[in-house]
Amino acid sequence: MTDQEGARLIRPYMITGGRTRSEAGHLPLQALVTVTDRDAAQTRSLEHRQILDLCRHETMSVAEVAARSGSVIGVARVLVGDLINDGLMEISSTADDRPDSRLLKEVLHGLRAQ
């Protein structure tokens, strides 16, 4: 059994502790997030660390985080919200707060690749 097959056996509610929202509140799918300079040594879980590693060198939308991490979108929203609440990530805004077409195409490509 590969790690990815084993990960599928874990139900989403187990990863989030049964939560459907983080303390940070509702995050739009298009919200762009970045990793802060804060020390991540006390990261809550392996899934949180995976998201931090994905976003360490580039800004991503919450939808893209879900696609690249292989998470269900609801789980990614909760985990990213946890990281924002812990000060390990922040929402970075664009001029008009909407992603450009390049980003949308990348997200669509990532979702289709799953």
- Phi, psi (5° rounding) for residue 86? -80, -5
Averages of pLDDT over each 10 residues, the chain, 114 residues: 55 70 80 88 83 92 92 90 92 63 85 84
Q: Please identify which residue in the block is written with the tokens 């922040």.
A: 90
pTM exceeds 0.85 for this model: no
Domain enclosing residue 92, as ranges: 3-113
**Cα 14 from chain centroid (whole Å):** 16
Q: How far apart are CA 44 and CA 49, in angstroms?
A: 8
User: Do residues 77 and 51 touch, judged by C-beta distance below 8 A?
Assistant: no
Q: What is the pLDDT of residue 98?
A: 62
Q: What is the pLDDT of residue 2?
A: 52
Work out how many domains the chain is built from and give that number: 1
- Phi, psi (5° rounding) for residue 18? 85, 0
